[in-house]
Amino acid sequence: MVNLILYGTESSPSVRAVLLTLRALKLDHEFHTLDMQAGDHLKPDMLRKNPQHTVPMLEDGESCIWDSHAIIGYLVNKYAQSDELYPKDPLKRAVVDQRLHFETGVLFHGIFKQLQRALFKENATEVPKDRLAELKDAYALLEQFLAENPYVAGPQLTIADFSIVATVSTLHLSYCPVDAAKYPKLSAWLARISALPFHEEDNLRGARLLADKIRSKLPKQFDKLWQKAFEDIKSGAGKQ
């Protein structure tokens, strides 16, 4: 019997990557929402389980695992009936791992977290142009990743898609919509992932919650861009 408990908050891109993986593997699980503002993640029991007090954290029986990339790889390795989502072939796995490192190093920590810090901690009155330029460069790299394949690590859906879409959909709905004219492959990939039957519940809903919060802090000129981005991803515009 699988006894999985996921701790986190629905708005977190990292948590949503795990939710997408759990759903793709059809694994029964409990989701325990943590109120980060209230310090739920800093309570003694949580610190005992996860000294880094980060989300997501997965509890599997007596074992606790944190960091979304570690969790989603673990779930496939332990519970998947096949290796499509995280191939065992060394080269194919290396490509997936590279995309996962790209997500954490470039998209999440390098861009998303820096934008969040500027907006919510430094109270910036406008989005830093240098960070937006870096984001567009990242979109261009993703466009190259998708040049010959429908998914970011090759011809098949993998955990790299779940990790990257959780962050990119948030950036797309808030700071910088993906321009389908400039990034047609990336736009089509977003629409392709959005067509998954569990995407709405396990990613888009949380991405919209976070985008609403970000939008409330953004200058008003971003309103029309944000609304168009949400309508596009909801309708599947750009799907090929």
Residues acting as catalytic residues = 12
Contact assessment for residue 168 and residue 203, using Cβ atoms and an 8 Å cutoff:
no
- Angle among Cα 220, 171, 178 to the nearest 5 degrees reads 90
Q: Please tell me the distance from the alpha carbon of residue 166 to that of residue 208, in angstroms, as a whole number.
A: 11
Size of the chain, expressed as the number of residues it contains: 240
Q: Please tell me the distance from the alpha carbon of residue 176 to that of residue 221, in angstroms, as a whole number.
A: 12
- Which residue(s) pair with 8 in the sheet? 33
Distance of CA 94 to the CA centre of its chain: 20
Distance of CA 62 to the CA centre of its chain: 27
Q: Please tell me the distance from the alpha carbon of residue 114 to that of residue 121, in angstroms, as a whole number.
A: 10
- Angle among Cα 21, 99, 33 to the nearest 5 degrees reads 35
Residue type, 193: I
Contact assessment for residue 21 and residue 72, using Cβ atoms and an 8 Å cutoff:
yes
The token pair at 68 is 């979304």
